[in-house]
Amino acid sequence: MEANSNMSQVVIETINTIFSDLFKSIDTNLFKVLDNLTFINSDILNDKYFGRIFGTSANNGILLIANSLLIGYVLYYSAKYLTSNFTFSKIENPVQFVFKLIIFGIAMNGSYFIIGQILDINFSISSAIKSLGEDIFNQSISFSKLIESINTNLQITEDNLNVFSVEGIIKGTTTISLVNLITVYAVRYVTIKILILISPFAILSLCLENTSVLFKLWFRNLLSMLFIQIIVSIILLILFSVDYNSNDLMIKFIYIGGIYCLLKANSFVREFMMGAGISTSVQNSIGLVKGR
């Protein structure tokens, strides 16, 4: 009987050691990455290869293709204008079309700069929210600091983790949820890069009324991706504002609620933006960008 008891204790200690090493590795390495993935500014454009793909001028990269399509728009309108004399169909005034072509052609070629400004404005708003928390709580408002706060208030260290206790379950749940967040925001990061690359085509679509819906779809998806950043800043601010008491079990579960809100922030934005964005359900696989 005593031998079985000792064996069980050895198994429990081994499991606790394994999970302690795993959680320590995640806490040390992954959550700094999560901050970089979530809070995006114009630095996302500074990748030299990304810049080459986008195009450094109208003669290379994506911009070259977009400017070629600009000529295609002129040919399409010209053919449609000629046939309208025979079909008596309504078509916009040539002066109006040329004016839109010039304005949106310039905007298309300057889309790299325009997107950079949008990213920086969004980053400034989220940074202002975090700065408010830093002034109030005298600590950095970030995921890496959040996990430190969780470990402190759960009284979890490398040597005393017990995954079979309530604190261990809460620690495991929050860690797994935050790892899921890393996947979600990695998808968001790549999605934003894709939306930036197709921005010249989205702006170009405004030249014709029957293609302008493409711009609306693109802009709504981009706005939803960026708005998530602001919502996450607010949720982090709320999590840091709670007066945690390590002896209060209910307060400990607020951590799980807060992490769940971070996961649901994407769903909230999707509903707010009429379905535009990415699906981040824990139960389902990550969905593609869509809008209705």
- Interval 188-231: pLDDT, tens: 899 999 999 999 999 999 988 888 899 999 998 899 889 889 98
User: Does residue 128 carry a pLDDT above 90?
Assistant: yes
Q: How far is CA 229 from the centre of its chain?
A: 6
The structural domains of the chain, with segments of one domain joined by +, span 23-272
DSSP secondary-structure letter at 290?
Answer: B
Q: What distances in angstroms separate CA 100 from CA 3, 40, 92, 109, 140, one per listed residue?
A: 84, 31, 11, 14, 46
Query: What pLDDT is recorded for position 197?
Result: 92
The mean per-residue pLDDT over the stretch 17-28 comes to 68
pLDDT of residue 280: 45
Q: Please, what is the average pLDDT of the chain?
A: 78
Q: How confident is the model at residue 279 (pLDDT cuts 50, 70, 90)?
A: low
pLDDT of 58: 73
User: Checking phi first, is residue 3 left (phi over 0); if not, alpha (psi -120 to 50) or beta?
Assistant: alpha
Q: What would the pLDDT profile of 79-113 be if each residue is shown by its tens digit? A: 888 887 777 677 778 888 889 899 999 999 988 89
∠ CA 89-95-96, nearest 5°, is: 75
Cα distances from 62 to residues 67, 69, 108, 117, 200, in angstroms, run: 9, 11, 11, 19, 8
